[in-house]
Amino acid sequence: MQKTSCDVLVIGGGPAGGVSAVTAKMNNPQKKILVVREQEVQLVPCAIPYVFGKTLGCSEKDVSSCAMAEEMGISTMVGKIEDINMQKKIAYCCDNEISFDKLIFATGSTPFVHASLEHSLALQGVFTIAKDKSFIDKLDAYAKDKKEIVIVGSGFIGVEVALEFASKGKNVTVIGGSKHILQNAFDHEIAKQAEELMLEVGVKYIGRDRVTKIIDKNGDGIVNAVELKSTKVVDAEIVILATGYKPNTTLAQKVGVSLGYYGGIWVDEYMRTQNHDVFAVGDCSARRDFITKEPSKVMLASTSSAEGRIAGSSLYGIEYLKGFSGTIAIFSTMVNETAFASAGVTEDQARAANIDIVVGTFSGVNRHPATIPDAHKQFVKLIAMKYGGQIIGGQIMGGLEAGEMINLVGLIIESHYDIYKVMSMQVATQPRLTSAPTSYPLVMASVVIAQKLKNI
C-alpha cells in the first residue's frame, strides 16, 4: 500500500469534478487537491454524439483538456476508488491509501438500460452511449461497415447520435415512447417540427412504442433486429440504447452516504451531504425541478458545473449561496441547421403539475429586415402562470442565436420574472444579429400572454 494524502479528494473527472477541483484550488491555493478519475483520457461528454458523424468524426477531437487543472497545481490519479473509511477519512484506490480532509463525489452517471433488455447488452452490435473513450471508439469502429442502425430513446442524445450517423449515410431509425422526439423538453407542435427535420435527412421515428426484445435470429450472438411492443420488427445491425442515465452512486452507497430523489446523493444548497465534510455534485447528486419541485432526472453538464462551483466555494467556509433551488432543465440542441432550445417546464409538464398557465407564442425571423441574407425563421413559446404572469417555461426554435437566447429565458425563469418585466426589458437588436427591435420574440410572446390575461 502506497500512502498519499490530500486536503480535498474529488472522485470523478467530468465537468462537475473538474469545476469543483478548479474552484477549490482557486479558493484554497495552499491546499492539496487530488482528482481521482477512472479514465486516462476524458471525453467532453456533450459532444460524444458528434464523434460518430461529420461534425467531429473521431473521438480524438473530443478529448477534454486537463491543462487548466495541471497549471493550477491540481493533482490527478487515474484509478478506481473501491472503498472509503469515512471515519478515518481514507480512500482506497488500487494499491493507494489516500487520506483526505474534504471529499467530493462527482461520480457522474451511467447509461440506464431497462431490466428486460439488460441481458441483450452481451450481444455483438448492442451498445449504450457510455461516457468512456474506449467504449465510444469501439462503437465507432463497429459502425464503419454497418448500415442499419436502431436507436432506442428519443431524447437529445438519441437524436444527436441519429443525425450524426445519418450524416455518414447510415439508415437510422429512432424508437421512442412519446408521440414525438425530444418530448421531455418540447411540446408536441415543436417536437413535431424537430422530427420532420430529422426525417428530411432520412432518420425515421417510430413513436409511442417500445422495444420489447433485441433479436439475435441466428443465435450467433450478433444482433439482427428489435421487436417492438406493437409487434413491429425493425432490422438492425446496430442497436444503441439511449434510454437515459442513472446516478452512479455505487461507491457512495457502499460507504453509507444517504441518497435522495431517483437514487442520487442527497445534498443541501451548498452541495453538502449530511456529513458536512462530504459533498456531491453533478449527475450523481439528487435534483428536483425548479418549478414543480418534483424529483428530476434531468442531467446537464451546465447545471453540474454550477454545482461544482458551489461545492468548491463551500469546502472551508461558505462563500455564496447557490442561486437556484432545483434544475430549470435548460438545454439546447441542433437538428440539421435549426436550433431547438428549452428551459423550465413545457406546457404539458405545467398542466401535469396542476399549474394554471397561459401560453404565448411568436413567429418571426432572427434578422431584420427579413431580407438580410442569412435570416432564419425564429419561433418562441413562453409559458406563464395564470395568476401573476410569472414565466415558468420557454421553448425556442431558430438559428444559432437560440443557444444564447435560451439562457436569457433561463435567467428570466430563475429570477421569477413576470411577462411585464420582459415587456419592458432592454435588449440589443442588430440587423445581422437579431430580430427587429419592434418585435423581439420574447417580448412579443409576453405581449400575447398579457393580452390573454386581460381577457380572462
Q: Which of 110, 193, 292, 305 binds a second copy (CB under 8 A)?
A: 305
Q: Which of 56, 130, 255, 353 binds a second copy (CB under 8 A)?
A: 56
Cα of 334 vs its chain's centroid, Å: 14
Q: Site size for a second copy, by CB under 8 A?
A: 87
The verdict on 382 binding a second copy (CB under 8 A) reads no
Binding to a second copy in span 178-197, by CB under 8 A: none
CB 123 within 8 A of CB 113: no
The verdict on 386 binding a second copy (CB under 8 A) reads no
For a second copy, the closer CB: 222 or 427: 427
* E strand segments, 307-376: 331-335, 338-344, 357-365
Q: Which of 258, 302, 361, 363 binds a second copy (CB under 8 A)?
A: 302
Q: How would you class 199 by CB atoms within 10 Å of its CB: exposed for 0-12, middle for 13-18, buried for 19 or more?
A: exposed
| Binding piece for a second copy, criterion CB under 8 A, among 78-86, 202-210, 379-387, 419-427 | 419-427
* HSE-up of residue 261 (Cα within 13 Å, Cβ side): 17
The verdict on 332 binding a second copy (CB under 8 A) reads yes
| Binding piece for a second copy, criterion CB under 8 A, among 82-90, 91-99, 240-248, 437-445 | 437-445
State the Cα–Cα distance between residues 302 and 327, nearest whole angstrom. Answer: 10
Which pairs from 406-410 meet CB under 8 Å and 24+ separation? 406/330, 406/331, 406/332, 406/341, 406/342, 406/343, 407/330, 408/442, 409/330, 409/341, 409/343, 409/344, 409/382, 409/442, 410/328, 410/330, 410/343, 410/344
Q: Which amino acid is at 450?
A: A
For a second copy, the closer CB: 92 or 417: 417
Q: Which of 26, 94, 199, 222 binds a second copy (CB under 8 A)?
A: 26
The verdict on 259 binding a second copy (CB under 8 A) reads no
Binding to a second copy in span 357-376, by CB under 8 A: 368-369, 371-373
Q: Which of 64, 96, 171, 363 binds a second copy (CB under 8 A)?
A: 64
Longest dimension (CA), the chain: 74
Q: Which of 139, 405, 445, 449 binds a second copy (CB under 8 A)?
A: 405
The verdict on 129 binding a second copy (CB under 8 A) reads no
Q: Which of 8, 194, 310, 355 binds a second copy (CB under 8 A)?
A: 310
Encode 379-395: b = buried (16+ Cβ within 10 Å), e = exposed.
bbbbbbbeeebbbbbbb
The verdict on 33 binding a second copy (CB under 8 A) reads no
The verdict on 66 binding a second copy (CB under 8 A) reads no
Q: Which of 78, 324, 359, 377 binds a second copy (CB under 8 A)?
A: 324
Alpha helices in 67-155 (DSSP H): 67-71, 133-143
Q: Which of 172, 300, 383, 449 binds a second copy (CB under 8 A)?
A: 300
State the Cα–Cα distance between residues 269 and 262, nearest whole angstrom. Answer: 18
Pairing of strands 357-365, 377-385: antiparallel
Q: Which of 109, 333, 338, 349 binds a second copy (CB under 8 A)?
A: 333
